[in-house]
């Protein structure tokens, strides 16, 4: 809502629990409730065991843009210790896993066949030691790959979140919240599964196939080549088919998940409207259709997996049967020992196990690949409002605002404003009135540079908005929307949102300026009282007053109020208007007003209609002119 205010949030690992512990029975750190005395010791114990991740080292840069490329290598190389340890564990685990068949062959040919108990005991002991060592190597590999995947996806999540902070408002207008959440949750989790287990397993199974192939050729080149000739061609054909089918299936699956979560998020956000209009049954039908689409995609991917997985198993078993027939004939001819045939069979089994594993890994890879495509699509989205690389910081302003032949349309073919020119003097309060859709709120959004004009330019104190940094601009502009957004947190955190470093005295000063002291004093924990989601625990008027206190504490030079009193009752409106007098004192202000009682308090009123400004003047001047404003005022006065 305001610029320059992101640096004060503490994201250390113990901050939330610490707040809870310090709150004791007062509930300072828990929403809606306190901590019973008998649980205080448990909370303290939990806080002591909570990992401390330290203070975040995050520097927001609106110019930083690495495009949509997701370099897995860069994600992994960013954590070299985990990567190296994982690689060594994979190598050790794979080598030890393939020692078993060779030890069985030694035990049979040199122990059992020759009645040599010493060789048999040593082979058995080494086998057991290899199994134990494999267990340790596997545990190490799993622990390190889990840490590697968690660290890499943490970096990716931060990158996605930072990119979302850079995107402009038009992106959030067009895209569903549930779809965006899918990119941050389900899609990243698919990639995390691949990084955590997929790559390590791929290395193990691929290395196993190479080692086993070399060992099989060492035992008997001809038998090994016959076996491979029976296996490789059909597996290659099946894998090429599966890849094409899986590409279609998993891309559809990612879209279906996004639509399902989007439908869910929309229904939950509008639950009050749903209940009020008795829409529950119809919403269930709609959601069932969305879930049905997701079910269809899962059925499709399940069907192709049911063909591919068992198909590869059948190929492997047929090849093993043929190999056993040929190998047994060679034993009968004394061309191969029983121990070598046994080892050969075991190694063949070890050869087909990686094939089965690679089938599952390819499925996992396809899911991650589809997810990466969706994430890449998000990261390639460019903000429509971009900070120029040569932008300079806007110095402290007096508050002069100038529109020079400004034109703008949310859609190129549908202009909202056309060739608008106006000058607002420093410290002047200007109210924008007019019919719905005429462009009043659009003018306010252009001043805050939520959008850029398609033609013309807007200046503050002679500085083109496109030539100054976004943070320096928005740190000097306070915005109070029609529906103020309050975050889950304390009253203090919401009031000091734009200035987290503000002292209690400064917060209380803002509270007094807008007349909120009675709300704070009757709240159970004062400024530390926790608010419900979106501030549902306070009234509409109190939410608006909190938004005004937030704007007052930010100390902006320019204030933009977008229909700040349109949803209030008369008593709340009077309180808010009294707070406005304190907020606007000595500041340049743009008031978007539907209620003429608010507009009449302005130094000047402009009437916006027909894609531009049709009238401008004081209340008395416009009433005397007998134009559109006079007609609006006459209608309003009659109803009042």
Question: CATH number for the domain including 633?
Answer: 3.40.50.300
According to DSSP, the β-strands at 530-531 and 489-490 are antiparallel
Range ranked top by mean pLDDT from 182-196, 326-340, 391-405, 545-559: 391-405
| Token pair recorded at residue 527 | 């400024």
User: Which strands make up the sheet holding 604-609, listed edge to edge?
Assistant: 477-480, 558-562, 588-592, 429-433, 604-609, 612-617
Q: Are both 32 and 162 inside the same structural domain?
A: no
Within a domain: residue 20? yes
Q: Are both 124 and 238 inside the same structural domain?
A: yes
Distances (CA, A) of 171 to 87, 165, 174: 41, 11, 5
What average pLDDT does this structure show over 450-479?
92
* Alpha carbon 194 to chain centroid, angstroms: 19
What average pLDDT does this structure show over 342-366?
74
Residue 41: the pLDDT is: 66
Within a domain: residue 608? yes
What average pLDDT does this structure show over 271-292?
78
**Confidence check: pLDDT of 55 > 60:** no
Distances (CA, A) of 383 to 19, 62, 63, 230, 386: 37, 10, 11, 55, 6
pLDDT digits (tens, 9 = 90+) for 529-579: 888 776 677 777 788 888 888 888 888 889 998 876 655 556 666 766 777
Q: Are both 313 and 449 inside the same structural domain?
A: no
Q: Tell me the C-alpha distance between 231 and 320, whole Å.
A: 10
Lowest mean pLDDT, pick from 67-71, 463-467, 617-621: 67-71
**Confidence check: pLDDT of 402 > 90:** yes
Residue 414: the pLDDT is: 86
Within a domain: residue 153? yes
**Contact in structure between 475 and 482 (CB atoms under 8 Å):** no
In terms of DSSP H, where are the helices of 194-220?
A: 199-219
Q: What are phi and psi of 590, to 5 degrees?
A: -120, 120
Within a domain: residue 201? yes
Residue-range definition of the domain harbouring residue 439: 401-487+557-639
pLDDT digits (tens, 9 = 90+) for 503-537: 888 899 888 887 788 888 888 888 888 887 766 77
Q: Are both 308 and 409 inside the same structural domain?
A: no
Within a domain: residue 321? yes
**Confidence check: pLDDT of 581 > 70:** yes
Give the closest residue to 477 by CA, choosing from 551, 366, 374, 562.
Answer: 551
Give the closest residue to 182 by CA, choosing from 103, 124, 131, 256.
Answer: 256
Q: 380, exposed or middle or buried, with CB in 10 Å at 0-12, 13-18, 19+?
A: exposed
Q: Tell me the C-alpha distance between 209 and 127, whole Å.
A: 20
**Confidence check: pLDDT of 607 > 80:** yes
Within a domain: residue 522? no
Residue 319: the pLDDT is: 77
Q: Are both 41 and 149 inside the same structural domain?
A: no
Q: What is the mean pLDDT of the chain?
A: 80
pLDDT digits (tens, 9 = 90+) for 205-240: 888 888 888 887 887 788 778 777 877 788 778 877
Q: Tell me the C-alpha distance between 157 and 167, whole Å.
A: 15
Into how many domains does the chain fold?
3
pTM of the model: 0.70
What average pLDDT does this structure show over 241-267?
79
Lowest mean pLDDT, pick from 28-42, 105-119, 534-548: 28-42
Q: Tell me the C-alpha distance between 257 and 291, whole Å.
A: 9
Q: Are both 589 and 470 inside the same structural domain?
A: yes
What average pLDDT does this structure show over 324-351?
79
Burial annotation 360-371 (CB, 10 A radius, 16+ → b, else e): ebbbbbbbbbbb
Q: Tell me the C-alpha distance between 104 and 338, whole Å.
A: 11
**Confidence check: pLDDT of 7 > 50:** no
Within a domain: residue 430? yes
**Contact in structure between 93 and 204 (CB atoms under 8 Å):** yes
The more confidently predicted of residues 273 and 145 is 145
**Confidence check: pLDDT of 19 > 50:** no
93: Cβ contacts below 8 Å, ≥ 6 apart: 134, 137, 138, 141, 204
Q: Are both 98 and 25 inside the same structural domain?
A: no
pLDDT digits (tens, 9 = 90+) for 411-453: 878 889 999 999 999 999 999 998 888 888 899 999 999 999 9
Give the closest residue to 72 by CA, choosing from 150, 127, 128, 153.
Answer: 153
49 confidence band (pLDDT: 50, 70, 90): low
Q: How many CA atoms lie within 13 A of 527 on its CB side?
A: 18
Q: Are both 197 and 108 inside the same structural domain?
A: yes
What average pLDDT does this structure show over 317-336?
80
In terms of DSSP H, where are the helices of 33-79?
A: 37-49, 72-77
| Token pair recorded at residue 288 | 């069932």
**Confidence check: pLDDT of 47 > 70:** no
What average pLDDT does this structure show over 362-384?
82
241, containing H or E segment:
helix 221-269
Q: Are both 220 and 273 inside the same structural domain?
A: yes
In terms of DSSP H, where are the helices of 167-198?
A: 169-174, 177-184, 186-193
Lowest mean pLDDT, pick from 223-237, 351-365, 492-506: 351-365
Residue 46: the pLDDT is: 60
Q: Are both 31 and 79 inside the same structural domain?
A: no
Give the closest residue to 265 by CA, choosing from 183, 327, 155, 192.
Answer: 183
Residue 292: the pLDDT is: 85
pLDDT digits (tens, 9 = 90+) for 154-174: 888 888 888 888 888 888 888
20 confidence band (pLDDT: 50, 70, 90): very low
Q: Tell me the C-alpha distance between 100 and 102, whole Å.
A: 5
Q: Tell me the C-alpha distance between 276 and 284, whole Å.
A: 16
Q: Are both 183 and 264 inside the same structural domain?
A: yes
Within a domain: residue 594? yes
**Confidence check: pLDDT of 502 > 90:** no
Q: Are both 30 and 81 inside the same structural domain?
A: no
Residue 467: the pLDDT is: 93
Torsion of CA 511, 516, 518, 524, to 10 degrees: -70
pLDDT digits (tens, 9 = 90+) for 141-155: 889 888 888 888 888
What average pLDDT does this structure show over 293-311?
84
**Contact in structure between 450 and 170 (CB atoms under 8 Å):** no
Question: CATH number for the domain including 263?
Answer: 1.20.1560.10
Residue 539: the pLDDT is: 79
2 confidence band (pLDDT: 50, 70, 90): very low
């Amino acid at each position: 809502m305001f610029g320059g205010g992101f640096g004060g949030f503490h994201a250390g690992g113990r901050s939330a629990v610490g707040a809870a512990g310090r709150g004791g029975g007062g509930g300072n750190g828990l929403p809606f409730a306190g901590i019973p005395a008998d649980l205080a010791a448990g909370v303290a114990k939990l806080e002591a065991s909570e990992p401390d991740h330290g203070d975040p080292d995050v520097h927001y840069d609106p110019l930083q843009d690495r495009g949509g490329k997701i370099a897995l290598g860069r994600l992994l190389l960013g954590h070299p210790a985990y990567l190296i340890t994982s690689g060594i564990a994979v190598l050790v685990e794979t080598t030890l896993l393939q020692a078993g068949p060779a030890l069985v062959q030694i035990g049979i040919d040199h122990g059992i066949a020759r009645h040599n108990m010493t060789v048999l005991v040593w082979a058995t002991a080494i086998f057991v030691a290899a199994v134990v060592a494999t267990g340790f190597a596997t545990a190490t590999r799993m622990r390190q790959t889990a840490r590697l995947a968690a660290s890499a996806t943490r970096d990716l999540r931060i990158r996605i979140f930072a990119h979302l902070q850079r995107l402009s408002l038009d992106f959030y207008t067009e895209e569903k919240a549930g779809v965006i959440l899918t990119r941050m949750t389900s899609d990243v989790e698919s990639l995390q599964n691949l990084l955590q287990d997929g790559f390590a397993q791929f290395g193990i199974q691929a290395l196993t196939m190479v080692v086993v192939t070399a060992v099989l050729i060492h035992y008997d080149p001809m038998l090994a080549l016959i076996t491979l000739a029976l296996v490789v061609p059909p597996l290659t054909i099946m894998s090429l088919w599966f890849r094409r089918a899986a590409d279609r299936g998993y891309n559809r699956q990612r879209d279906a998940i996004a639509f399902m979560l989007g439908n869910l998020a929309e229904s939950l956000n509008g639950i009050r409207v749903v209940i009020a209009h008795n829409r529950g049954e119809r919403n269930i039908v709609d959601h069932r259709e969305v879930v049905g689409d997701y079910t269809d995609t899962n059925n499709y991917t399940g069907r192709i997996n049911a063909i591919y997985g068992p198909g590869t198993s059948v190929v492997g078993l047929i090849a093993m049967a043929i190999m056993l027939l040929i190998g047994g004939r060679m034993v009968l001819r004394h061309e191969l020992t029983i121990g070598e045939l046994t080892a050969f069979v075991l190694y063949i089994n070890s050869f087909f196990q990686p094939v089965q594993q690679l089938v599952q890994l390819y499925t996992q890879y396809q899911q991650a690949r589809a997810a990466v495509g969706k994430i890449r699509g998000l990261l390639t989205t460019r903000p429509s409002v971009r900070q120029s690389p040569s932008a300079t910081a806007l110095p402290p302003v007096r508050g002069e605002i100038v529109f020079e032949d400004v034109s703008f349309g949310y859609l190129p073919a549908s202009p909202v404003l056309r060739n608008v020119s106006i000058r607002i003097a420093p410290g002047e309060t200007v109210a924008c009135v007019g019919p719905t859709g005429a462009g009043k709120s659009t003018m306010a959004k252009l001043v805050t540079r939520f959008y850029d004009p398609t033609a013309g330019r807007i200046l503050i104190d002679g500085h083109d908005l496109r030539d100054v940094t976004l943070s320096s601009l928005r740190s000097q502009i306070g915005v109070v929307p029609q529906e103020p957004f309050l975050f889950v947190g304390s009253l203090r955190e919401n009031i000091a949102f734009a200035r987290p470093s503000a002292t209690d005295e400064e917060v209380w000063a803002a509270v007094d300026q807008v007349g909120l002291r009675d709300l704070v004093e009757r709240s159970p924990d004062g400024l530390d009282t926790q608010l419900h989601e979106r501030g549902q625990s306070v009234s509409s008027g109190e939410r608006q007053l909190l938004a005004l206190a937030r704007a007052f504490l930010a100390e902006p030079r320019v204030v933009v109020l977008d229909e700040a009193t349109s949803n209030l009752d008369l008593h709340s409106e009077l309180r808010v208007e009294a707070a406005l007098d304190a907020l606007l004192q000595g500041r340049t202000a743009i008031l978007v007003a539907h209620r003429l009682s608010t507009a009449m308090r302005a130094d000047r009123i402009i009437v916006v209609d027909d894609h531009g400004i049709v009238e401008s003047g004081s209340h008395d001047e416009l009433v005397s002119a007998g134009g559109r404003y006079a007609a609006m005022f006459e209608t309003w006065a009659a109803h009042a």
